[in-house]
Amino acid sequence: MNIVSKGKLRKYLEAHYGVENALVRWYYIIKKAKWKSWKNLQTDFPSADKVGDRVIFNIKGNNYWLIVIVRFFNRHIYIRWFGTHAEYDKLTKKDILNS
């Protein structure tokens, strides 16, 4: 998969100390993935959730959450939001879909 918005990942890494190893591990799994469907994605990330066209990943033992858009047809992932579990809990479904 191709992560289109890598700059956002770098920005999040600078803002959230201590998450680097977990986010880098996620990144390398994504780069090697050849998913064609949601079912394929869940093989690598069984705890991932879907909200509309957004996919939500738990990062670093559920301490952080990452919201992306996955386009299986062209193998692109668009980073939409990253934050702590507490920050995520404040989001509404509308916030998630508009991220």
Instruction: State the CATH number of the domain containing residue 35.
Output: 3.30.2310.20
Nearest of 65, 69, 89 to residue 77 by alpha carbon: 69
pTM of the model: 0.90
The arithmetic mean of pLDDT across residues 1-9, rounded, is 84
pLDDT digits (tens, 9 = 90+) for 36-71: 999 999 999 999 999 999 999 999 988 999 999 999
Number of domains in the chain: 1
What pLDDT score was predicted for residue 41? 96
pLDDT: which is higher, 3 or 11: 3
Band (24; pLDDT cuts 50, 70, 90): confident
The more confident residue out of 17 and 59 is 59
- Tens digits of per-residue pLDDT, 71-80? 999 999 999 9
Check if the beta carbon of residue 43 is closer than 8 Å to that of residue 36.
no
How far apart are alpha carbons 6 and 79 in whole angstroms? 8
Positive or negative, the Cα torsion across 59, 43, 31, 8?
negative
User: Which residue range is the domain that position 74 belongs to?
Assistant: 2-98
The β-bridge relationship of strands 49-51 and 54-59 is antiparallel
